[in-house]
Amino acid sequence: MLILASASPRRAMLLHEGGYDFELVKASVSEELPEGMLPKTGVKSLAVRKAEAGLTHWLELGGDTLDVVLGSDTMVVLDNHILGKPATPAEAEEMLNRLSDRTHVVLTGVALISGSGKLVADVVETVVHFRRLSTEEIKAYVASGEPMDKAGAYGIQGEAGKFVMSIQGSLTNVIGLPMEYLSEQLRAWGIEQTNIASREVDDGLSAFERFTGRTSTP
């Protein structure tokens, strides 16, 4: 059985739409990182922490040691600086102004762990380029409230999809889980898609094109 150690509705949505049956478990961990730690190292470390915390909680609830727990963390990185979740609307505006007309990187750490001690962890990278954003656009987007619980102060699956000029790599990685990578890993762990009806219909468009109406960069 697959266990998602996350409170993120976006990660749960991605797993559900990917056709996976899973259970949810809390994974409360400190997201503080040592000063100077590289973003890739940090995001992987946090994913492992969440997976380990989720496994501990799941086993306390009576879960099977053969169950597989998924932990994940996503970071937006600009000029090697991590843009976390904004604490205030003003901070959200500042982040979006920095991202305007710039290319940034989205890193998602993914960790899978079982009670038997098996652990696999990696980081998936997506490169995103924003078009130039006007002050009015930024203020309106921040006023909507959408940026406030998201790394980098935006959600590509929402209104901010209109800000994106191009993307290189996995779109779902930007949302919270790199489903292409994750599906391969889960298959190796013996976890297959079961809810086939929920899988995305192939209409000839990429996920990026459906979200934004723009063509992605290979």
Gap between the Cα atoms of 130 and 109, Å rounded: 23
Gap between the Cα atoms of 205 and 135, Å rounded: 31
Gap between the Cα atoms of 61 and 64, Å rounded: 9
Catalytic residue among 73, 122, 202, 203: 73
Residue 16 buriedness (CB in 10 A; 0-12 / 13-18 / 19+): middle
Gap between the Cα atoms of 25 and 40, Å rounded: 25
Gap between the Cα atoms of 121 and 76, Å rounded: 19
Q: Where are the alpha helices (DSSP H) in the chain?
A: 9-17, 39-60, 89-99, 135-143, 171-175, 179-188, 207-212
Is the dihedral angle over the CA atoms 212, 129, 151, 86 positive or is it negative?
Answer: negative
β-partners of residue 166 are 129
Per the annotation, the verdict on 73 as an active-site residue is yes
Nearest to 130 by CA among 76, 182, 176: 76
- C-beta neighbour count of 198 within 10 angstroms: 14
Kindly list the catalytic residues. Answer: 73
